[in-house]
Amino acid sequence: MNPINIFALTRIESESSQRRLERQMSGRSHFLMIKEWEVESLRKFCSNLCGVKKEAAAMKFFYSFTMPKLGKEFDLLRVSKDSIVNIELKSNTVSDEAILRQLSQNKYYLTTLGKSMYFFTYISQTDRLVRMSNSGRLVRTDWEELAAVLEGQKELYEGPIEDLFREEDYLISPLTDPARFLRGEYFLTSQQRDIRYHILKRIMTGNGSIRREFSLSAFTGLPGTGKSILLYDIAMQISKRETVCLLHIGSYEKELEQLNERLKRVDFYYCASDQKLQIPGEYAAILIDEGHRLTEELYGDILALAKKWQIPLIATFDKEDAVPKEERYGSGGRLITETEGCSSYRLTNKIRLNNELSSFIASLMRIKGRSRRGSYPSVSLSYAGDDNEAGMLLSAYAAEGYALIHDGELPADTTIENCTGIGEAVCKEYEQVMMLIDEAFFYDEDGYLREKNDRPQDDGISGVRRLYHGLSRAKKKIAVVVKNNPEVFEGILSILQGEAVVSKHRTEE
């Protein structure tokens, strides 16, 4: 999206023409629905600004920009080499508290640009212009001051504004980058904030303390929807007065140590799904991360403690609908949601995983009955006839920067530096991920990817689930090496080519 001349846009009376011209100037992929009051506020804003500086009629702004992934909206942005100016437009009178809250939130999101920032709000009904001071107060200003700030911007940026907001600058995992999490350098989407609001409202009293009564809240979503960062943020919020514990079902002992040392009222525990629960003291709340890895016995112990202490229990787990039910076994997500009184929420906005990779993984898990993209340029597929060839191909991908996430044993003589077991990779993020699919996998008659029954199980988690969660760690690219399994290879190739699937198990779609 490019900056537009808002003065030129407001000279048009026809709503249809406004939408068409705005799209032409901004380069949007869709028409922007511009409300009548927005045009009127924008028109008055331009008239006032041009009244003190005629050259303002040529100024360009990014108009009605929404931050990718996060959904945060800005009315007007103007970006230069050293500064950024944000102007919010209001038609009706709103409270100073509401204006200040919005501008403070805008500052929070724009901090990643590393520029000097100026924040203004214009209320057209009262013809009032205010700004937020450096100390965070709302003060009255005039058009001359705004014009001077805009005139002081040099070397204006006129490229696509989306390029300024790189995902890695504001989307983090508390376990991949605990230092940034502890410094508060992370952002929540509007959906995450809404779920946090409802959970906190349920478990907190009016004075900010935790209610002394049992309750169960849970939220789920596909991998990459930001469940862990939301859970850890909630832990931070409710630990301001009392100590809580957070159970991570899986690995990460090293990463948890840093968080455990720095957060005085949040105690972290590594909790293997096949080990007995050991919590030495009593807490005001229990939080569970990676709840889909829970066994029935472990979940029963945690539930019993929460009820005994009469405290809130908050859990998050991956939604595993893409994996066939037979491969999920005793999925902890089912145990949690089937608990009486559970208040559950679902995250739907993908944050880490882009739509292309998400579509590919879903199609890989079930090759039939899903709509597919036209192409998958970020997915690479290779075939190996034996261990030696598989090792050579994996090493070649490693040389290109791919991280290998493996499920148990690697092909003989395979040495890759950036290599992680699936148990350790869960909740981490990688730019590029490669995984091996061997002869133990097959597609059943319903098109689901399955695993042979004689395959050893680790902690009751099937290889299909491990593959699903491993591939879901990728942010930008995926590479799959299929070893000695021509049927699965042909199936994956058909996904990448957008072809109908034909095999001895299936009829043509």
Q: Does 90 or 407 have the greater pLDDT score?
A: 90
Tell whether pTM > 0.85: no
Kindly report, residue by residue over 148-163, the tens digit of the pLDDT.
999 999 999 999 998 8
Q: Is the pLDDT of residue 188 over 50?
A: yes
- The one-letter code for the residue type at 483 is K
The phi, psi pair for 159, rounded to 5°, reads -80, -175
Judging by beta carbons within 10 Å of its beta carbon (0-12, 13-18, 19+), is residue 13 exposed, middle or buried?
exposed
Complete domains list, the chain, with CATH: 4-164 (3.40.1350), 174-347 (3.40.50.300), 355-497 (3.40.50.300)
pLDDT computed for residue 412 by the predictor: 65
Pairwise CA distance, residues 482 & 476, whole Å: 20
300-355 confidence digits (pLDDT tens): 999 999 999 999 999 999 877 677 766 655 578 889 999 999 999 998 866 666 77
Please give the average per-residue pLDDT across 206-211, as a whole number.
89
The rounded distance, in Å, linking the Cα atoms of 110 and 121 is 16
Whether residue 505 is predicted with pLDDT greater than 80 in this model: the reply is no
> Is residue 174 predicted with pLDDT exceeding 70?
yes
Q: Report the distance separating Cα 424 and Cα 175, nearest Å.
A: 11
Higher pLDDT, 416 or 327: 416
Question: Residues 99-125: pLDDT tens digits?
Answer: 999 999 899 889 888 899 999 999 999
CA distance 105 to 72: 9
Give the whole-angstrom CA distance, residue 505 versus residue 509. 12
Nearest by Cα to 34 from 1, 59, 6: 6
Choose from 76-85, 220-229, 251-260 the range with maximum mean pLDDT: 76-85
Using the predicted structure, report yes or no on whether residue 402 has a pLDDT greater than 90.
Answer: yes
Contact of 226 with 192, CB cutoff 8 Å: yes
Residue 380 CB neighbours (<10 A)? 18
